[in-house]
Structure 1
């Protein structure tokens, strides 16, 4: 050690006390500061997303036959819709197709969900992968493929082909939703029911299906909403008459947007929102104590 190092004086106690303490990061600075740019982008996104929908709802109550000038509140365009026989017929067609597709896809989806979860072979994994393919396939591809299939078997586009296409397309959604619920069920409960004298079908009907009730109902509501609002698949598989409401609206828009179309869009929006809210509330209201399935939350 050198002499100069030994001769360096050490700081005294008062000098140590006078040293400035390290600065503390102010609360709200740095990472805690609100990202104004992100908030601005989010606000612009929601404005661009919901402003056209707000305009449709607003002008559906317009007294004037205009899509740019709002004069006052009126229900004349809703009355015009319900007095239009073609539009009301299309509405009935959409409701019938959605109801039949819902029942058919749920019935088949329940069986497929049980088969995929309880399967003990390698085919179960392959089948699980195949069930995901319709979910990622562009719907226009599905529509064209369905049209080619029906033409190949000499089936002209009609109400029957529309129902078959919508039911087939919805099965994958039901299966994926219910498969998660079936995987959560404890097989020992079914075994206990069979030990008490029930056969396999009775255990399934009296024990398993009631436990899946909220999930089945939520899936049914979701499928009804999807089929009722669907346009692409309905456009390729429906005939000239009867037409579902979405296709009828498209045909009417080609000759100019009428205020009654705004009334139809508002009614469809309200109905879809009510069904989605019901699908979210049903599992929470009736599926408590470990039997619920939050459809959109996992």
Structure 2
């Protein structure tokens, strides 16, 4: 029995290593061959940045990159506004209907994205809307509201309700209490959720594929269209840049709330030390 217990961790470590190797080795290959000096996806013959230069001189890819950045920025701003309003409303509803609405809000997080994409496509075509960057943006905003709502509600749950009540007792109107007391406290959650939504929307493919028009296309859809006619090392360069940019945004989304929390804790300690 003791020998079996000793073997289990080794087996678990082996499975974990194989899993991560299977998951990340293709990504490592994409990054490596994006610096290949020759147009080959099988042999690596030396480092070069020629494919990155080709990407920045490709007008269609630059147009798609600009479209993706615009979609991600608008989706992040729209989902922040609507998601924050929804979180504030749900936090004040303590009845069964509020809990039911909160559960419905979480459905986009567990629903397969292809189902959401098909539903958005049927919705827009049913309304007679022409597929374009507008439909992509609307679909991304609808899908991203849930992320903002969950993050902001988590921050609201950690706040004491006496803070808003004290502001109301001091003469603030409900809107002034929200604008001057609650929203400044939510800044870390808003920044983190905004960066997270921007990263998710920027490299989203499934929803963009079902709701985009002919031209201009978001960058992930443009990459997929290019791969269908043959994989070019320039596509590897685009994928590497998207990977690095998305990873940077996710790291910032994780670090920004922590930095704000540390700053707030430091200020509280200083203020507490200065009190008589």
Normalised by the length of structure 1, the TM-score is: 0.85
Pair 1:224-2:189 in alignment? no
Distance in structure 2 (CA, Å) of the matches to 1:29 and 1:255: 55
Which deviates more, 82-91 or 123-132? 123-132
Pair 1:199-2:173 in alignment? yes
Shift of 1:121: 3.0
Pair 1:269-2:246 in alignment? no
Question: CA offsets, 1:1-57, max 9 Å, x none?
Answer: xxxxxxxxxxxxxxxxxxxxxxxxxxx977467722222211111211111111100
Distance in structure 2 (CA, Å) of the matches to 1:226 and 1:115: 25
Shift of 1:117: 1.2
Q: SS in structure 2 opposite 1:81?
A: helix
Shift of 1:290: 6.6
Higher RCO (CA < 8 A, seq sep 6+) = 2
**Gap runs ≥5 in structure 1:** 1-27, 292-298
Match 2:79 to one of 96, 99, 105: 105
Normalised by the length of structure 2, the TM-score is: 0.92
Match 1:237 to one of 201, 206, 211: 211
Shift of 1:203: 1.3
Distance in structure 1 (CA, Å) of the matches to 2:215 and 2:261: 41
Pair 1:136-2:110 in alignment? yes
Q: SS in structure 2 opposite 1:74?
A: coil
Shift of 1:221: 0.5
Pair 1:253-2:227 in alignment? yes
Which entry has the higher C-alpha Rg, 1 or 2?
1
Which deviates more, 240-249 or 172-181? 172-181
Distance in structure 2 (CA, Å) of the matches to 1:284 and 1:180: 14
Q: SS in structure 2 opposite 1:35?
A: helix
